[in-house]
Amino acid sequence: MGMFDSIRCDYPLPLPLEVIDIMPDVYDNEFQTKDFDNTLELYILNEDGDLLYRKRQYHWVDDDSAFLKGYMDVTKEEIVPYDFHGVVNFYCYETIRDEEDNKKATDVSIDYLAKFTNGKLENIEILSYEINDATERLDNLQKSMAESARKAKLWYNKYFFNTKFYRFIKRKIILKPIELLKKLLDKVYWLLVRYI
């Protein structure tokens, strides 16, 4: 999927009637977009149609228990206007379970296109939306996860295939020589192609 940015919408969005019936509150969702810097930042579209940006300042904190022996901590956070001029595509995807029948579920995806002029919303429209039954997909996912957990508990997987010793043998003794042989054969092939 890659990196993206988030947009929180306080502005009233156009919604199809089918989506209103299914989704309890679309404004609780944060939409995703790839039309900004794709640095996992938060943008806000307020009630007046102004585009805002959550600006943060960070400093490095040394911590020996952390993965990189430290982490970035937020020291200051403020909401500032974002002077954007152009078109932004933002979207959300959500799976909603039926409150009465917990086995039934629905996938809803909505895609919006918004036009901004100097950080002010000019126009917003629904690009597309889809409503699909997710019951079968979730059942298959649950069965697959149960099967995977069952296979992981089998004695030969638990005590042989999922051990460091087996992974070492597989990687260093079996796969590494095959990879080196493949590289050698590739070089021989290209030398033959080049000089013949």
Q: Render pLDDT for 139-162 as a digit per residue (tens, 0 to 9).
A: 999 999 999 999 988 888 888 888
- Residue labelled with tokens 């996912």: 141
Q: Is the pLDDT of residue 73 over 80?
A: yes
pLDDT in tens, 40-64: 899 999 999 999 999 989 899 999 8
Cβ burial of 7 (10 Å; 0-12, 13-18, 19+) is: buried
The residue ranking higher by pLDDT, 159 or 84, is 84
pLDDT in tens, 155-181: 888 888 888 888 898 899 999 999 999
Q: What is the mean pLDDT of the chain?
A: 88
The b-or-e profile of 70-83 (16+ CB within 10 A means b, else e) is eeeeeeeeeeeebe
30-33 β-sheet, strand order: 70-81, 51-62, 42-45, 5-9, 30-33, 86-97, 105-117, 120-133
Tell me the C-alpha to C-alpha distance, in Å, between residue 187 and each of 15, 177, 178, 182: 59, 15, 14, 9
pLDDT (0 to 100) of residue 18: 76
